[in-house]
């Protein structure tokens, strides 16, 4: 085996081993927030976060207390984010009465009006708020999009996803949390 192929093989083995170590830890690849910890509060707000929706109204995390929350950081320009939206719409419609609250956290730098037009065009049936630096920092920094957090009724992050996640996987994760 020549030296280049051998070096490539060693690099591949190292990459797989690193990924296995990261995945075996109780951390998300998306952020530095550990699963099972209380959902972070944005600095200078207590408790939880306060973010502005597309109509300029404040949405408080405290208003979601006692609900299972799917908190999705996304952007209009992000193809995987756009691909997830129909699944979140369906989950909100199907499970809202059982205590599910999907909240979209837009990281778009464009105007609220352009994000609002996108939300209306897509038929998004859940609240969409605008991210700020404090909430991004509070969730450990967002390393990529979409970044989705599943938060149980007690406010603990029970699952995190970086990148596109199929509706069926999110549904599997929220169903046990929705049981009374």
User: CATH number for the domain including 71?
Assistant: 3.40.30.10
73 and 96 part of one domain: yes
Per residue in 86-97, pLDDT tens?
999 999 999 999
12 and 46 part of one domain: no
65 and 138 part of one domain: yes
58 and 140 part of one domain: yes
Using the structure block, give the residue that is written with the tokens 């630096």.
133
The whole-number pLDDT of residue 140 equals 86
22 and 35 part of one domain: no
Q: Is 45 left (phi over 0), alpha (psi -120 to 50) or beta?
A: beta
Angle 164-51-93 from CA coordinates, rounded to 5°: 50
DSSP one-letter code for 159 = E
Side-chain half-sphere of 92: how many Cα atoms within 13 Å?
A: 20
Residues ≥6 apart with Cβ < 8 Å to 179: none
35 and 113 part of one domain: yes
38 and 64 part of one domain: yes
> Which residues are bridge partners to 38 per DSSP?
156
Tell me which residues of the chain have a pLDDT lower than 70. Answer: 1-47
Using the structure block, give the residue that is written with the tokens 């069926």.
168
86 and 133 part of one domain: yes
Residue 5's domain comprises 1-27
The whole-number pLDDT of residue 37 equals 54
10 and 44 part of one domain: no
Helix axes 167-178, 79-95, angle to 10 degrees: 30
Contact 87, 102 (CB under 8 A): no
4 and 65 part of one domain: no
Q: What predicted TM-score, i.e. pTM, was given to this entire model?
A: 0.76
How many domains, in total, are found in the chain? 2
Beta strands in 1-66 (DSSP E): 50-52, 58-60
Interior/surface letters 2-16, b for 16+ CB within 10 angstroms, e for the rest: eeeeeeeeeeeeeee
86 and 137 part of one domain: yes
Q: Is 93 left (phi over 0), alpha (psi -120 to 50) or beta?
A: alpha
The whole-number pLDDT of residue 29 equals 36
Average pLDDT over the chain reads 80
158 and 114 part of one domain: yes
């Amino acid at each position: 085996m020549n030296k280049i192929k051998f070096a490539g093989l060693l690099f591949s083995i190292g990459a797989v081993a690193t990924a296995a170590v990261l995945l075996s830890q109780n951390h998300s690849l998306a952020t530095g927030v550990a699963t099972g910890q209380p959902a972070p509060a944005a600095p200078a707000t207590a408790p939880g976060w306060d973010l502005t929706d597309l109509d300029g109204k404040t949405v408080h995390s405290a208003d979601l207390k006692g609900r299972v929350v799917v908190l999705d950081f996304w952007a209009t320009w992000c193809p995987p984010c756009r691909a997830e939206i129909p699944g979140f719409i369906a989950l909100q419609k199907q499970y809202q009465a059982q205590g599910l609250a999907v909240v979209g956290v837009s990281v778009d730098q464009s105007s609220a009006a352009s994000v609002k037009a996108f939300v209306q065009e897509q038929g998004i049936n859940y609240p969409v708020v605008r991210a700020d630096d404090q909430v991004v920092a509070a969730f450990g920094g967002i390393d990529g999009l979409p970044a989705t957090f599943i938060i149980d009724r007690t406010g603990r992050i029970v699952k995190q996803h970086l990148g596109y996640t199929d509706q069926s996987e999110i549904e599997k994760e929220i169903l046990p949390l929705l049981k009374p």
